Amino acid sequence: MLDKNDIAKRIAREVKDGFYVNLGIGIPTLVANYIPKDLDVVLQSENGLLGMGPFPFAGEEDADTINAGKQTITMLPGSAIFDSAMSFGMIRAKKVNLTILGAMEVSENGDIANWKIPGKMVKGMGGAMDLVASAENIIVAMQHVNKAGESKLLPQCTLPLTGVGCVKKIVTELAVLDVLPEGGFKLLERAPGVSIEEIIAATAGKLIIDGDVPEMVI
């Protein structure tokens, strides 16, 4: 199985040269550490920053320079800082090529629930609803099962939805999966040492397996 950094490393392989990328809170923020140096990629933070770099080393943090999750970050040469109105103008105008988000649940038709568990205190939905409504390419970084061992890849989401039919790809500790337009999770890759049977057992939604499924390269 993959750990959180391995999931981020695998997702970093989906980032293409010239992309503007928004990283959500949680595992997605780790992707900033693993983008290949030879790619010209601009990371956008919804709190008002273009040009986010890797996390700072210990002792080099600047408390005034943070991402949307309030983690201290670095800024690359040529970075720009602006207000949240400008930031969400970029998002709503579809200027972001790729959005990487965490999720509590994803359904087999690409619905995502990632902002609220009924009965639990939350700070708010943040920018997730704007991102999923505007982005054309959404990759979800998530755990395949919850703490109780129950699948988070479902026929239908049980939690309040953030967006409908918007997720294109999912990377978990077990697998890489595409969400097909006609519905269903297509298994593309499995984590090193993870069997197809383990993935089947951990997936409640419709799982499509077509031929041999290779182990993912991290």
Would residue 46 show up in a list of annotated catalytic residues for this protein? Answer: yes
Q: By C-alpha distance, which of 96, 188, 177, 181 is closest to 136?
A: 96
CB 212 within 8 A of CB 204: no
CB 167 within 8 A of CB 106: yes
CB 5 within 8 A of CB 30: yes
Q: Which of 46, 105, 108, 173 is catalytic?
A: 46
Q: Phi then psi for 208, rounded to 5 degrees? A: -110, 125
Q: By C-alpha distance, which of 124, 114, 127, 144 is closest to 88?
A: 127
Would you please indicate which residues are annotated as catalytic (active-site) residues? 46
